Each structure stands twice: as structure tokens, then as C-alpha cells.
Amino acid sequence: MASSLKSWFPIPKSSHFSLANLPFGIISTSSKSTPRAAVAIGDHCLDLQEFSSSGAFSTLGIDASVFSKSTLNDFAALGRPVHRSVRKFLQEVFAEGGPHAKTLQSDESLQKKCLLPRDQVKLHLPMHIGDYTDFYAGRNHAFNVGCLFRGPDNALQPNYTHLPVGYHGRASSIVISGTPITRPNGQILENPAATPKVPTFSACKRLDIELELGAFLCKSNDMGKPVPISEAADHIFGFVLLNDWSARDIQAWEYVPLGPFLAKNFGSTISPWVVLTDALEPFRTSGIPNETQLLPYLQEKEEKNVYDIRLQVDITPEGHETTRILNSNGKNLLFSFPQMLAHHTISGCPMAVGDLLGSGTISGPEKGSEGSMLEVSKGGKETIKLNGGVERKFLQDGDTITMYGVCGTEETGLVGFGECSGTILPAPKL
Amino acid sequence: MASSLKSWFPIPKSSHFSLANLPFGIISTSSKSTPRAAVAIGDHCLDLQEFSSSGAFSTLGIDASVFSKSTLNDFAALGRPVHRSVRKFLQEVFAEGGPHAKTLQSDESLQKKCLLPRDQVKLHLPMHIGDYTDFYAGRNHAFNVGCLFRGPDNALQPNYTHLPVGYHGRASSIVISGTPITRPNGQILENPAATPKVPTFSACKRLDIELELGAFLCKSNDMGKPVPISEAADHIFGFVLLNDWSARDIQAWEYVPLGPFLAKNFGSTISPWVVLTDALEPFRTSGIPNETQLLPYLQEKEEKNVYDIRLQVDITPEGHETTRILNSNGKNLLFSFPQMLAHHTISGCPMAVGDLLGSGTISGPEKGSEGSMLEVSKGGKETIKLNGGVERKFLQDGDTITMYGVCGTEETGLVGFGECSGTILPAPKL
């Protein structure tokens, strides 16, 4: 395939959206405001509604009306074999000398209709998300945070290596990259050591990020019918970056005994293009070794069950230059997404197409690879020095966070996620 | 109004669905399988699609197409003043000598089309639920459970009286009364005292109920825009009974540090008829006194902020007679639903029409009023004696649980919820 991945269409070498990728998203344009499906390619995207209306997909035998929907749910529901054949077909459409190159290459009028500069399209949430679950499978993060709260000897709870710890999140608060995030107000305990413990009402003072991957599902299961681990990968449509913004002070006061709530539901940002599971296949690798003997329902045949994705986070304080504050990697997970799904459904929990699973914060083992500011600043005790003499412990109003994730090399074509960004607005005055 | 609540239509005195109630639901019939809206009245229901197509609602100036939808979301979104006028109009249609009685009373052919025996209709989930949140506002339950885990001195966490503790639930697992519930499999710790802690895979052995009220929302708020406590009641469409089935052994092992997950997402049952907020107005009362000084965003002007609803739970083991295992009351809450909503959105969390809020388990203060078997059996230490010599600590396969809730008297007309029931199926063999 590598040789056919040279395209007749200009794709910058540094683009996350090489022919080896072709991620799916939902776009609209000023001339046509109805959201519809597209794939990203280089600095452009291919409007799939327009392209399919030319009859381009007729040889594939799929229902091309899925590309006219305002979410990717119906396309996702066609299943991974269909995603695979559509992506392969599109690779052949764009490949230099590919078997379907003539479809578009020789038709300038079709190109003009279908190939839109990406900076001229508006991006929408790619899926209708019925339910969102956030896991905690980044062992280094769980350990780092556990150390801050309970010391290294008790950092991880006894259940941690036996199952992917997770909790239900708030689907309505998932927003697309570029959506501003309003700093939450809430109850915080200014002095946790004082007695009695009396909270004050305040804007969050310890506003943080969490660097995660998100997986969208493409297959449902009925209530009472678990998804076996051997079939779980077939349920995963593709991946996005996920910034699980977190209000640490609100969280510390509210989270016992039922878990994080308002500390998490004021907004979670995802990158707009869904990178198909197939596009990440070449980048499979092993995750964090788990020495615990897992119960059979979590035992995965595939040892390379996570992905080698270079993850980076930049901060841009308003009016200042950008600083890269961390570098991590998607492989820093103790459990894979198939394991998360097998666990999630072992109770019989029904999952739907479009449901989103978050990985948990992906921290690497070494300094500079921590996936949250809580970790980098050691619980707010140390200052993070940024370019231009700016300092941070947590986020300030006007700060913009941008996450990136990319696999592969420019030689064979990058497979990346684009940007996952958000800017902090001040808390409402109440 | 009391005098006009006598109906020309036969309504059994013992019916939960008197003229003082008129709850809304979604029905289908064997002759017309498309789900549509209805109100329950006595042993019948009024098919609102059919009734509105006769032009009955034309004087109200509302868009009657909402009654042809497969959920009540669009009707709910019209707002509480519209719910009020529709309910009042329907009361006048059914009232003896009421101003609109002739609409239906004198038209036998319309009666035949619209008034369906309730035992001949199929009931569906009344709302599309975007997100579901479960609170923990039943102070007696929280205290009882806290005692079991930590003893009476530390039963309630320091945050408990300052805010309505809550967590995000799983919307996809909400089912309607009558849906069987499959016992979940999962990881349990057979011997919590042993070291190291190694879980086993098992069907849940401590399957439990939780007696709750659920509130559906009829008004959305944008992300970043909290709902003030003074406006929160306008966001509440109506109420249902909620059985938050719980796998106590799975919960005990999994819930640290992020809260309950698989212990809750295998199914939660609601009663099918939404009792409008207006129908409960006459039954307002005071809840459990809270001596904590609340922050202003939780201070409610209305002191009577909960409802006097008699709650009952019956168990029917397969092949055995029914035993009433508990009597509680809807007033046993420390926080009201408006307080829950004001708290939920103080972070800026966006809520949508159709979202469901659970109260948390509603236990009374005295013996026999505990809202879960965990409490009645003192954590599984004591046996619950049922009629016919049957004993239980937790639920067995084939057990049917039926919850009831009712307000008022037969004199003025009962306002009730009907049944919220479910039968336990065996865990899947894996």
C-alpha cells in the first residue's frame, strides 16, 4: 500500500491528514449550512455528500445517504468492514495512478464542488453521543495523583490493576475543538485542615486539563448481553483526542463518596476528525505491562492492544507566546479500549452507536510527560515556567490549551488528529 | 376545583389516575403500532394524537403535533404554562358538567377512537433521556448506609449537608416498568478482609433495589449558564418512580475512587406515566430539616419544597404470594429537586429537555421505611421474612419488585404513579 499512498492531490508533508489517514468528520459551509460528512485530506476536506451525489460510491454497494446525515452515527453503524472499504476506495481515488483516480482527478468541476479548503469549513460534533464514560486507565496518572492524595504506598487502590476503573460522564457537555470553556463556579474548601469543614462559593481556582484519547462506538449491544473481549475491537469506530477539563478544588470537596460530578461536567473537548480504527492499525504497540492475572473476560489475545501516538499539549496565555508543556504517548495505558468495552458491558450495560469512551489521563513515566497540570505542578506546589516569563500552576482566564496527537512519519504519511483546543472564559458573576 | 373533579367518565375510586392527576405517557396499540402521547384516566387512557386530530385542542392555540411524537420531549419543551393549560382543559373535558364536557361526552364515536382500556395499550419510555443523573438526597438512606460502612460517627461525609451529592448515571440503561432485569455478572471480593485482595468473577450475590423519585426536565440551559434556584421549578416537567437496581458486591469492589459504575448500569426502572409538577402542587410539604447554612445558590424561598407521596415496595418471589417490604414517603429528602437542578448547573453544566434526575434512595426514619434491602437486612446480616415462610436478604432470580407512589385521598381523587416493576432474570452464563 505504501507506494500507492502518493497522491495526485497536493498534501503537505507535515499534514496530519495524509492518504494513510482519511479521518471522518461533520462539516458545513457558508454556502450550504446543512451539516454533512467529510474526510480530511491535507489542507482540504472532501465533502462526502457532494462526492456521493456524483455516484462515486455506486460500485461499493453502500447506502450513500449516510453521508448526508448531520452526524456520523449512521455511517458508523454500517460496521468496520464498510468503513474499511470506504477508506480504501477513497485512498484509491486520491492515489497517484490508483484504480479510481480518474473519478476525481480528471473532473475539475467535481473537484471544485467536493474539495473544500479546510479553513473555510465549519466543523461540528462528529457523532451524536448517547452516553459518555470516562475511564482511568492511565496508570502513571492514577499513581501520580494517588501519591499526591495518599502517598506512594497507597497510591493505587486494590482494584486498580484488576479492572479498568471508570465512571459515567456527562454526554451533553462534550464539545468540539474551538468551543470556549467557561470557568465553573462551585463549592470549594479553602482550608481543608480546618474544623468544621465549611465550603465557600467561588470560581474554580485550580482549573486543569486532562490529556486523553476518546473512542467512538460503531456497534450496539442489547441490555443483558455483554460484548466478549474477542469481539470488542469490532465495536470501535475510531478515535479522537479528548481534553477532560477538570476543576480540582470543586472535585476535592464533592467527590466522596460517589465520584467526580460538577468538577467534570462544565465541558469536555474533543478533536473534530474521527481517525478510523483501521488507520491506527500500523501503529499498534504494547501498553503498560500489567502483572496482575486478569479474569478471563478481560484477557485479550492481541498483545499490541494500544497505539503509539505522540501526544503533545501547548498552552497559549492570552497575549503571550505558546509553550509546549508536555509530551506523552498513547501507549501509556494499563488497559486497552477493547478491555474497557468488555468490562463496561460485563454487567449487561447496553451501549449504543456513538457512545464515547475516554481513556483517562495519559501520563508518561518521566518528567515532562504528565497529562495534567495537577501532576506537573505537584498538586499546585510548584510553578510551571512558560515562555516569555509567564508562570502557571493551573489555568487562568484567557489561556488556550491545544492538544495534538500524531502517528507515523512524513515519509509514509502522518496519521494525526489535528487540534483539540479550547480557551478559558471567566466564570459567570452570580 | 374540587367540585368539578367529579367526572362523567367512570373512574374507580381507588385509581391512581383520578381527574386530579392526568399523567402523560407514550402508548402504542396492536391496531396502531406507532408510539404517541396519551393521558391516563381511571382504567383507561386518552389517545392524545387521536383526540387532537378531532380538533379538540384548537382553542388552546398549541401545536398539537407534539402529541404524535414517539416521546413527550416536544410537549415538555412547550413549557409549564402549556402543560398547565392542557391538563386544565382535559380536566374540563372529563368533568361532570365541565365547560368542555360536550367535546367528548356527547360523541360516542370519538370516545371509541380515543378512550382505550389501559390493559390493551403498550407503554413506552415517556421521554428520550439525553443524560441521567442520580442524586443521594435521601439523608436517612445515606446515614444508614454510612453507618454500615463507617459507623454512626462518620456516617455522613462533611460535604453531605452542604450540597446535594450526585453522580452521572447511564441514560441507556433506563427502562420502563415491566422490563425484565438481568442479574449482572462482575468482579466481587468474596473475602474483603483477605490480603492481597483478589476478586472473583461471579453473578451478583447482593442484588438490591433503591426506591427513588425521578424528575424529568422540560427546559434546557446553555453550557456556562447556571439555572438560578428561583427559576429551577420551571424546568421540571414531572415525576416518575425510579428503581435504581444496585449490585452491592460489585459496587463495594469497584467504587473507589470514582464512584459506582457497573453496580448501577445494568438497568434502572421507571414508572411509565409522568405525573406533572402541577398535579403534585397540592401535596407540597417540608422535607428533612437541614440545619446547615446553605450557600445562596441553594437557598430556596419555598419551604414546602418536597412532596407528601406515600411510597410502598412489594416483593413477589416466583410462585409465592406478595409481601409489602417497606413503606416510605417522598418527603424524606434533605434537598429538593429545584435544589438538585440549581446545584447541577452551578458549574455551567448544560441540561436538555428529557434529562432525568434521580432523588437518591428515599428511606424514612423508622424501621420498615428503609428504601433498600441493604438497609432492611442491615448489610445482609439479618433475614427479611416474607409471607409464606420465604426469606430474603437480597433479591433472588424470579423475584418481582413493584413500587407504588400515591398522594391524596379517594375523596378528592388519588394522584398516583401506577406501578414501577421489574422481575429478575438469571445472570448470563459466560
A95 is written with which cell numbers? 492515489
pLDDT > 90: percent of chain B = 95
Query: Which of these ranges, A85-99, B229-243, B343-357, has the smallest mean pLDDT?
Result: A85-99
CB contact under 8 A, A223 and B182: yes
Query: Which of these ranges, A47-51, B146-150, B325-329, B393-397, has the smallest mean pLDDT?
Result: B146-150
Min Cα distance B307 → chain A (Å) is 25
Tell me which of B258, B298, B299, B356 to substitute to probe the interface with A (most A C-beta atoms closer than 10 Å). Answer: B258
CB contact under 8 A, B226 and A428: yes
CB contact under 8 A, A163 and B187: yes
**pLDDT value at residue A53:** 94
Region at A404 (left for phi over 0; alpha for psi -120 to 50; beta for the rest):
beta
Given a cut of 90, whether residue B420 has pLDDT beyond it is yes
Measuring CA to CA, which residue among A315, A308, A269 is closest to residue A285?
Answer: A308
Min Cα distance B375 → chain A (Å) is 17
DSSP classification of residue A7: B
Q: Is B39 on the interface with A (CB under 8 A)?
A: no
**pLDDT value at residue B4:** 42
C-alpha angle A206-A372-A342 in degrees, rounded to nearest 5: 120
Q: Is B147 on the interface with A (CB under 8 A)?
A: no
Q: Is B267 on the interface with A (CB under 8 A)?
A: yes
Burial of residue A320, with CB atoms counted within 10 A of its CB: 0-12 exposed, 13-18 middle, 19 or more buried? middle
CB contact under 8 A, A167 and B130: no
pLDDT (average), residues A170-198: 97
- The values of phi and psi at residue B327, to 5°, are -130, 125
DSSP classification of residue B58: G
Which three-class secondary structure state does DSSP give residue B330?
coil
Angstrom distance (rounded) from CA B162 to CA B149: 21
Q: Rg of the Cα trace of chain A?
A: 22
Burial of residue A430, with CB atoms counted within 10 A of its CB: 0-12 exposed, 13-18 middle, 19 or more buried? exposed
**pLDDT value at residue B149:** 80
Residue A396 belongs to some domain of the structure: yes
Residue B430 belongs to some domain of the structure: no
For residues A188 and A308, state if they share a domain.
Answer: yes
pLDDT (average), residues A89-115: 93
For residues B254 and B329, state if they share a domain.
Answer: yes
pLDDT (average), residues A162-187: 98
Window 84-123 of B: residues touching A by CB (8 A cutoff) are none
pLDDT (average), residues A8-18: 97
**Domain endpoint, select from A81, A97, A124:** A124
Given a cut of 50, whether residue B2 has pLDDT beyond it is no
**pLDDT value at residue A142:** 97
Domain of B378 in residue numbering reads as: 132-425
Q: Is B138 on the interface with A (CB under 8 A)?
A: no
For residues A381 and A284, state if they share a domain.
Answer: yes
Tens digit of each residue's pLDDT (9 = 90 or more) over A249-294:
999 999 999 999 999 999 999 999 999 999 999 999 999 999 999 9
- Contact list, B163 vs chain A (CB under 8 Å): 187, 199, 254
CB contact under 8 A, B259 and A262: no
For residues A139 and A104, state if they share a domain.
Answer: no
Tens digit of each residue's pLDDT (9 = 90 or more) over B48-106:
999 999 999 998 999 999 999 999 999 999 999 999 999 999 999 999 988 888 889 99
For residues A136 and A48, state if they share a domain.
Answer: no
Is there a contact between B339 and B302 (Cβ–Cβ < 8 Å)? no
**pLDDT value at residue B269:** 99
Q: Report the number of distinct structural domains present in chain A.
A: 2
What is the pLDDT confidence band of residue A1, given thresholds at 50, 70 and 90?
A: very low
For residues B136 and B116, state if they share a domain.
Answer: no
CB contact under 8 A, A346 and B130: no
Q: Is A196 on the interface with B (CB under 8 A)?
A: yes
- Contact list, B172 vs chain A (CB under 8 Å): 130-131, 349-352, 355
**pLDDT value at residue B151:** 87
- Which residues are registered as beta bridge partners of B407? B415
For residues B101 and B167, state if they share a domain.
Answer: no
Given a cut of 50, whether residue A344 has pLDDT beyond it is yes
Q: Is A194 on the interface with B (CB under 8 A)?
A: no
- Contact list, B257 vs chain A (CB under 8 Å): 157, 165, 255, 259
Residue B98 belongs to some domain of the structure: yes
For residues B47 and B108, state if they share a domain.
Answer: yes
- Counting Cα atoms < 13 Å in the Cβ hemisphere of A425 gives 14
Window 8-37 of B: residues touching A by CB (8 A cutoff) are none
- Contact list, A168 vs chain B (CB under 8 Å): 167-170, 261, 265
| Closest residue of chain B to A136, computed from CA coordinates | B258
Min Cα distance B42 → chain A (Å) is 33
CB contact under 8 A, A184 and B355: no
pLDDT (average), residues A235-244: 98
**Domain endpoint, select from B124, B154, B175:** B124
**Domain endpoint, select from B76, B103, B124:** B124
Is there a contact between B346 and B301 (Cβ–Cβ < 8 Å)? no
Is there a contact between B388 and B320 (Cβ–Cβ < 8 Å)? yes
* Cβ contacts from A onto B, under 8 A: 197
Burial call A297-312: b when 16+ CB within 10 Å, e when fewer: bbebeeeebbbbbbbb
Looking up residue A96, the CATH number of its domain turns out to be 2.30.30.230
What is the pLDDT confidence band of residue A21, given thresholds at 50, 70 and 90?
A: very high
Tens digit of each residue's pLDDT (9 = 90 or more) over B357-416:
999 999 999 999 999 999 999 999 999 999 999 999 999 999 999 999 999 999 999 999
Q: Is A355 on the interface with B (CB under 8 A)?
A: yes
Is there a contact between B234 and B342 (Cβ–Cβ < 8 Å)? no
pLDDT (average), residues A361-369: 96
For residues B172 and B48, state if they share a domain.
Answer: no
**pLDDT value at residue A4:** 42
Distances (CA, A) of A309 to A200, A280, A376, B289: 41, 9, 21, 54
Given a cut of 90, whether residue B114 has pLDDT beyond it is yes
Given a cut of 50, whether residue B143 has pLDDT beyond it is yes
Is there a contact between B143 and B150 (Cβ–Cβ < 8 Å)? no
Min Cα distance A148 → chain B (Å) is 14
Residue A430 belongs to some domain of the structure: no
Residues of A taking part in catalysis: 141
B80 is in an annotated binding site: no
Looking up residue A348, the CATH number of its domain turns out to be 3.90.850.10
Mean pLDDT of chain A: 96
Min Cα distance B145 → chain A (Å) is 11
Given a cut of 50, whether residue A361 has pLDDT beyond it is yes
- Contact list, A426 vs chain B (CB under 8 Å): none
For residues B206 and B320, state if they share a domain.
Answer: yes
Measuring CA to CA, which residue among A365, A323, A371 is closest to residue A140?
Answer: A365
| Closest residue of chain A to B352, computed from CA coordinates | A172
**pLDDT value at residue A2:** 43
Angstrom distance (rounded) from CA B349 to CA A356: 18
Given a cut of 80, whether residue B5 has pLDDT beyond it is no
Tens digit of each residue's pLDDT (9 = 90 or more) over B317-373:
999 999 999 999 999 999 999 999 999 999 999 999 999 999 999 999 999 999 999
Q: Is A193 on the interface with B (CB under 8 A)?
A: no
Residues of B taking part in catalysis: 141
B88 is in an annotated binding site: no
- Contact list, B262 vs chain A (CB under 8 Å): 343-344, 346-347, 349
Angstrom distance (rounded) from CA B346 to CA B403: 32
Helix (H) or strand (E) holding A36: strand A32-41
Mean pLDDT of chain B: 96
For residues A83 and A144, state if they share a domain.
Answer: no
For residues A210 and A155, state if they share a domain.
Answer: yes
Region at A339 (left for phi over 0; alpha for psi -120 to 50; beta for the rest):
alpha
**pLDDT value at residue A128:** 98
